[in-house]
Each structure stands twice: as C-alpha cells, then as structure tokens.
C-alpha cells in the first residue's frame, strides 16, 4: 500500500482481530492467512476539526495587539470506501504475527465555519479604528485521506488450557504508523460587520482560501482478541486495542488568494501562504466484531463491524502569519495578518470512526 502524500497518512481503525482456530493437524509447523477487506467508513474527523480551529491558537497573542479572531467550525462526517490487507502468520501454537495495511479516501459534502473577528487600534494619523467582522464561510472539496500500517504480535497464553473456550484468547502488542491528510477550499461567502459604528455587509466572491493539514503518528498498541467456534464452518470473533502515540510529525498549510483592483481598473491576484509544523498527541481505542464462514478448507468469507474513538491534542504549533493579506475585502484576513504566531490555547478534538467490512481470505 502506498504512502499518502508525505507519508502513509493516516489511519484507520478496524482491529485486526481475525483469529483462526488451529486444526488438529496444525501444531507448531504453523500456517498463514491472508485477507482482503472492503470497507464502508464514516468518520467525524479530529484532523479536520483541528485544522479549521488552528487560527484560534492565536487568541492569547492577540490580546495585546488589539485584535482577536475566533472561528467555530462545523465539520460534517466524512464518508467513503476503503481497502485493507491483512496477513496472519502462526509461527507456533504460542505466537502469531500480524501485518496490516489500510487506506481510505473519504469526502464530506460541505464544512461551515463562522469567523468572528475584532480589531481595535490607533493609527499614526486619524481617528481610532474599531471593527467587528463576522463571516459565514462554506468550504467545499473536502477530502480526508486516512491510512494505517501495523506490525502486531499475538500471544496465546492459554493455548494448552484444558478449557477449550480459552485456547483462542490472544493478547496483543505492537506498533503502527497512523496518518490523516485533510484538505479543503472555500467558496464565496457572506459577511456582516460594524466599522466605527457604521454597519456593513456583502458577499466575498473574490477571495479563496485553501487549507491542508497532514499528520502522522507512531503508536504503541496493546490489546486482545478472541474467537469462538459456532460450528465446524463458522465462528465469531471479537477484538479490542488501546493505542497511544509516542511520536508525531504534522504540517499545516494555509493558502490565500485575493483579488485587488489596480489604478487602471484591472484585477491583480495577491497570493499568500502560511505553513508550519504542528506537534500533536493521540490516544484512543478501537474494537471490532466479526462473523466468519468457511467456504472450504482453505478459503473463507467474513463480515465485520469496527469502531474507533480517540482524542487528538495539539501541543505546539509553529505557524507564522502569512504576508500580503492587507489588500483584502474581508476584514478577518486583515486581522490574520496582524496576529502574532500561535501560542495557544491549542485545539483538542475527538475523532470517532465506524465501518462495515466484507472480507475474503485464504489459508496456505
């Protein structure tokens, strides 16, 4: 599976909890199971929420500069299909390794963002300036690319137990690379405001903003999985994993394109770009349920449901103000220019994911 953009961007869940009960003729010589899973996924993305909220991290610095801007994003669920590949290698009765790859390209209809900006300052000449600006932006072309690569090891401590219900209980440890890339762009949007007591309003149709936030986490994983045989050809499985990041590499990018009218009456494009590194922490769990039916001795069919719940906390951000934004019909963009580099408070978002999967596998 290819890495997405900079790295294998992120992510997704589905506990690789597929367990195959050893046959009477399969002991220490082991066996291998390979599986392909097609998934239908729904995500309420913390990556998207944090990307749209990063401008709020400037709040502390803006207190002393006379400017303040606060955005409130409303991120719709991302939905789409994904694919997962998984291989289990049973080295002995006691140990099994699991290799896992997943990738999904998800979309959201539209994201809304209310942007309230204020500015109060005394110019060198003239009267004091007091502006309050509220814009209602709509973002389209919303994409979330999520991928995950995992190397896991299962230990069957009760493999020789006299209790047959315990022999397929496994404890899991491992590591994974988990990544997400969120991208979006704005459409023309309305705004209202008050400038030195005089109200104004309009529709901004000449400014466009593009946001991209790519993050990758290195996670430590612990968990367990269990399989219960229902009949000689069918089984039920359950799995649970807890994961916590030990490393993170993220990049935030904001591009802004504005149009200005020159003295000759022509439109001149004015572009700006703000990029920087972001450090985040990730912690959460994932769980799965599955039902497997053996078509014959070497192939099977499985349906599954999986759920993941995690929290992504931005701990630090080095995203300087972008330049060349002074000539703009949107007052909030002017405030963005005047703001200092972000210090905090940093966004903290919850990420929830659910998926249904259909899987085909074979043993060799």
d(CA 345, CA 354): 29
Q: Average of pLDDT values for 290-319?
A: 93
When pLDDT is averaged across residues 277-297 and rounded to a whole number, the result is 95
Using CB atoms within 10 A of its CB, is residue 231 exposed (0-12), middle (13-18) or buried (19+)?
Answer: exposed
pLDDT tens, position by position, 336-350: 444 445 556 788 899
Handedness of CA 58, 60, 65, 71 (dihedral sign): positive
Spatial distance between the Cα atoms of 205 and 74, rounded to a whole number of angstroms: 21
Average pLDDT over residues 164-187: 92
| 354 or 272, greater pLDDT | 354
- Tell me the CATH number of domain 31-363, given options 2.30.30, 2.40.128, 2.60.40, 3.30.70: 2.40.128
pLDDT score, position 22:
40
The pLDDT of residue 1 is above 60: no
Q: Is 147 exposed, middle or buried (0-12, 13-18, 19+ CB in 10 A)?
A: buried
Longest dimension (CA), the chain: 91
What is the reported pLDDT for 265? 58
37 band by pLDDT with thresholds 50, 70 and 90: very high
| Contact indicator for 150, 98 with CB cutoff of 8 Å | yes
Q: Are 211 and 52 in contact (CB under 8 A)?
A: yes
Across 257-270, average pLDDT: 62
**Cα(99)–Cα(37) distance, integer angstroms:** 14
CA nearest 301: which of 235, 354, 226? 235
Candidate ranges 279-288, 312-321, 341-350; pick with highest mean pLDDT: 279-288
pLDDT number for residue 267: 61
Label residue 326 by pLDDT band (50, 70, 90). very low
pTM: 0.79
pLDDT, one tens digit per residue, over 60-91 is 555 556 667 777 777 778 999 999 999 999 99
Question: pLDDT category, 323, cuts 50, 70, 90?
Answer: very low
- The secondary element (H helix, E strand) that includes residue 169 is strand 169-186
Across-strand partners of 165?
none
11 pLDDT tier (thresholds 50, 70, 90): very low
The mean pLDDT of 193-198, rounded to a whole number, is: 78
C-alpha 306/C-alpha 289 separation (Å) is 6
**Residue 249: Cβ-neighbour burial (10 angstroms; 0-12, 13-18, 19+):** middle
pLDDT value of residue 26: 42
The H-or-E segment that residue 317 falls in is: strand 299-318
Domain boundaries in the chain?
Answer: 31-363
pLDDT of residue 260: 59
Whether residue 8 has pLDDT greater than 60: no
**Exposure b/e, 103-115, CB count within 10 A at least 16 = b:** bbbbebeebebeb
Is residue 4's pLDDT more than 90?
no
Average confidence score pLDDT of the chain: 80
User: Stretch 81-103: mean pLDDT, rounded?
Assistant: 94
33, 91 in Cβ contact below 8 A? no
pLDDT beyond 70 at 111: yes
Locate tokens 């995690």: which residue?
A: 310
**pLDDT per residue as tens digits for the range 141-168:** 899 999 999 999 999 998 888 888 888 9
């Amino acid at each position: 599976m290819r890495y997405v953009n900079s790295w294998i961007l992120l992510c997704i869940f589905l506990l690789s909890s597929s367990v195959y009960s050893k046959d009477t003729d399969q002991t220490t010589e082991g066996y291998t199971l390979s599986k392909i899973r097609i998934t239908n996924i729904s995500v309420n993305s913390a990556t998207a929420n944090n990307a749209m909220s990063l401008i709020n991290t400037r709040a502390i610095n803006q207190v002393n500069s006379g400017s303040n801007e606060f955005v409130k994003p409303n991120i719709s669920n991302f939905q789409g299909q994904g694919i997962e590949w998984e291989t289990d290698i049973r080295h002995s009765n006691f140990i099994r390794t699991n290799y896992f790859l997943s990738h999904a390209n998800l979309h959201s209809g539209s994201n809304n963002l209310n942007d309230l900006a204020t500015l109060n300052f005394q110019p060198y000449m003239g009267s004091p300036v007091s502006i309050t600006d509220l814009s209602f932006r709509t973002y389209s072309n919303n994409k979330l690319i999520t991928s995950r690569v995992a190397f896991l090891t299962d230990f069957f401590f009760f493999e020789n137990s006299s209790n047959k219900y315990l022999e397929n209980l496994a404890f899991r440890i491992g590591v994974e690379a988990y990544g997400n890339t969120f991208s979006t762009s704005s459409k023309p949007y309305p705004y209202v405001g008050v400038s030195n007591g005089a109200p104004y309003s309009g529709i901004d149709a000449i400014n466009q903003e593009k946001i991209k936030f790519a993050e990758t986490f290195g996670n430590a994983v612990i968990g367990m999985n269990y399989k219960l045989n229902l009949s000689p050809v069918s089984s039920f499985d359950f799995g649970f994993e807890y994961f916590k990041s030990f490393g993170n590499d993220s990049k935030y990018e904001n591009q802004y394109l504005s149009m200005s009218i020159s003295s000759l009456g022509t439109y001149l494009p004015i572009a700006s770009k703000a990029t920087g590194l972001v450090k985040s922490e990730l912690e959460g769990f994932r769980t799965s349920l599955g039902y497997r039916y053996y078509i014959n001795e070497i192939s099977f069919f499985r349906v599954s449901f999986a759920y993941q719940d995690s929290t992504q906390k931005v701990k630090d951000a080095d995203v300087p103000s972008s330049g060349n934004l002074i000539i703009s019909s949107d007052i909030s963009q002017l405030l963005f220019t005047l703001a200092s580099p972000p210090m905090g408070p940093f966004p903290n978002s919850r990420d929830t994911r659910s998926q249904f999967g259909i899987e085909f596998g074979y043993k060799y």
